[in-house]
Amino acid sequence: MAQSRRNAGTPASAPHGTPTAPGNAQPPHRRRTGPPPARGRIANRLTVTLVALLAVLAAVMAYGATHSRQTTTRIPAGTPVGSPAPDTAAPQAPDAVTPTELAALADTRSKALADGDEDAFLAALDPATPGLVDEQRRLFRNLRPIPFDEAAYRVAATRPGPGPGDPLTVDVSFDHRITHADTSTVGEGYRWTVTRPAPGAAPRITSITGTPYEGGAGYRYARDYPAPWDRAQLTVARRPHVVVLAEQALADRAEPLADAAEQAAAADLAAYAGPRGTAPGFVVVPVADRAAFYELYGGRADQHGDESGLTYALRSSPTGNTAATARPGTTAQFGGARIVLDVTSGYFTGGDAIRTGDLLRHEMAHALVTPLRSDLAGQNQPVWVVEGFADWLAFRSDRDRLSAQFGEARTYLRTGRFTGTLPTDADLYQADPVGNAASYQLAHLAMLRIEETHGTSAVFRFAAAVYADPSAAAVDRALRDATGLDRAAFEADWARYVRALLDHG
């Protein structure tokens, strides 16, 4: 029974832009009250002047109560009360944390990371927040051995507290590019809580979490948090085309995995003969915890089912740099990918190095072409293309084993479940393990048919075109350009090919 090896990157419709600051909360409505009820008859000797004065006072009080319901400005204690001149800014807390100070906090941490200065990296943290200093010390030590072309913190958005002087919510992007893996700078979103602990004191960071994903869709975070360096102490293993980030529980497996991953990377990179701009290498994250397997990079629990590997596409930072490998004249939308592996799955526990290599090459095929991917609102690349291409490239290095790869597809055919139509996204994500595996294999066979009839370069051109534009019309156009056939004609030809190939033995 084959286990699925799906690519479950951040959905193309997921907003990764700077979050919009929420509106300031309105002050509570103040209940208007009239004068107290009379305790007796008003003395006849009250003069008309006193009545007039009371009427004026009541009118002033009524206006003040009405006006207080409309204003959103809170005046700090001790601020002189008076009528501000027209067009003047609302009063600010004397010790409000300024944008310049926030930028300095980010710059200081960036420089400390580059210089290897742990004390400076931790200096702005509030020591009274339980665990904060220890967590950030571990983060610093995790990041230092990783080969970065770029690694810096940048203030992306600031959300003021309910009133002047209240803690600020600050969204910070960790802009980074891993050497020989990313084609452009990618960002990870952190949310800092920043306050000034006393008048005149330097600002303090009292909390660090991930930037929440505004708009949900079930994903915990939009900005690819947590990364493995946020969760636990890491062991880093490096090869020419691979960086392995392993938690300490898997430290003894990091080097053997790096060797296997380098072999798989070399096979995929050598086989690729498509458009420029693909990834030059890969970041691999092994885990032995199913919850962590789904949680990393902003995933969600059991998002598809029985995966053994997931490849997450990381969006390019809007202010980041693009590596020389990027396609000329294009703006990178995805600067890299991260491959997360569940090493408790049968691909790793059975002692079968060939199966492990199959999985690694499949996931690396996803990561390889991720920088070619474009984002269209509400549209993802068809899964039959994404997964069919990954299996096709993964098995190019060992075509002698191809016939053994289509067992479930053959079962599908013999039991009458094969409909003669290309697999839908639902087919490839179905819970039935036979149907799931068969759909992967049928997608693979679609790529094989393109290769057999129009050559290897046609498959690369087709996949690259679909990654660049996943709209239905563009996919049909890419298929016609690669094969000379419209979708219906290609589908009919492919169905005949599948039946002839599998309906025997």
> Does a structural domain hold residue 242?
no
pLDDT at position 494 is 98
pLDDT score of 72: 21
Alpha carbon distances (Å) from 228 to 235, 284, 359:
10, 10, 20
Residue 390 lies in a domain: yes
Residue 3 confidence (pLDDT): 31
Provide the pLDDT confidence category of residue 94 given band limits of 50, 70 and 90.
Answer: low
Domain, as residue range, for 451: 377-505
> Domain boundary at 210, 225, 242, which?
210
- Tell whether 204 is covered by a domain: yes
Residue 148 lies in a domain: yes
Read off the pLDDT of residues 417-434 as tens digits, 9 standing for 90 and up.
999 999 999 999 888 989
Please, is 282 exposed, middle or buried when counting C-beta atoms within 10 Å of its C-beta (0-12, 13-18, 19+)?
Answer: buried
What's this model's pTM, rounded to 2 decimal places? 0.80
Asked if 294 and 302 touch (Cβ cutoff 8 Å), the reply is yes
Q: Is pLDDT of 36 > 50?
A: no
Q: Give the C-alpha separation, 268 to 260, whole Å.
A: 13
Do 111 and 120 meet the contact criterion of CB atoms below 8 Å apart?
yes
State the Cα–Cα distance between residues 378 and 56, nearest whole angstrom.
Answer: 62
| DSSP SS3 for 439 | helix
481 located within any domain: yes
Q: Name the strands in the sheet holding 204-210, side by side, starting at the edge strand that comes first in the sequence.
A: 148-159, 168-178, 186-195, 204-210
**% pLDDT > 90, the chain:** 64
pLDDT reported for residue 499: 96
Q: What is the pLDDT of residues 106-160, one digit of tens each?
A: 999 999 999 999 999 999 999 999 999 999 999 999 999 999 999 999 999 998 8
CB 313 within 8 A of CB 10: yes
Looking up residue 198, the CATH number of its domain turns out to be: 3.10.450.50
Residue 275 φ/ψ region, left for φ over 0, alpha for ψ in the -120 to 50 degree band, beta for the rest = beta
pLDDT single digits (tens) 275-301: 999 999 999 999 999 989 988 998 765
pLDDT at 431: 85
Contact 242, 281 (CB under 8 A): yes
Last residue of a domain, one of 210, 239, 257: 210
The pLDDT-based confidence of 490 (bands split at 50, 70, 90) is: very high
Which is higher by pLDDT, 59 or 486? 486
Report whether 436 contacts 4 (CB < 8 A): yes
Determine the Cα–Cα distance for residues 236 and 285; give it in Å rounded to an integer: 10
Q: Are 309 and 294 in contact (CB under 8 A)?
A: no
pLDDT in tens, 37-86: 333 333 333 333 333 433 433 433 333 333 222 222 222 222 222 333 33
In a domain, 17, yes or no: no
End-to-end CA distance of the chain: 19
Q: How many domains does the chain have?
A: 2
Here the tokens at position 424 are 């839908």
> Quick one: pLDDT at residue 321?
57
User: Quick one: pLDDT at residue 300?
Assistant: 66
Q: What is the pLDDT of residues 228-263, one digit of tens each?
A: 999 999 999 999 999 999 999 999 999 999 999 999
Last residue of a domain, one of 194, 210, 226: 210
Q: Is residue 457 part of a domain?
A: yes
Q: What is the pLDDT of residue 503?
A: 83
| CB distance 333 to 316 below 8 Å | yes
Q: Residue 246 domain-assigned?
A: no
Whether 373 shows a pLDDT value over 50: the answer reads yes
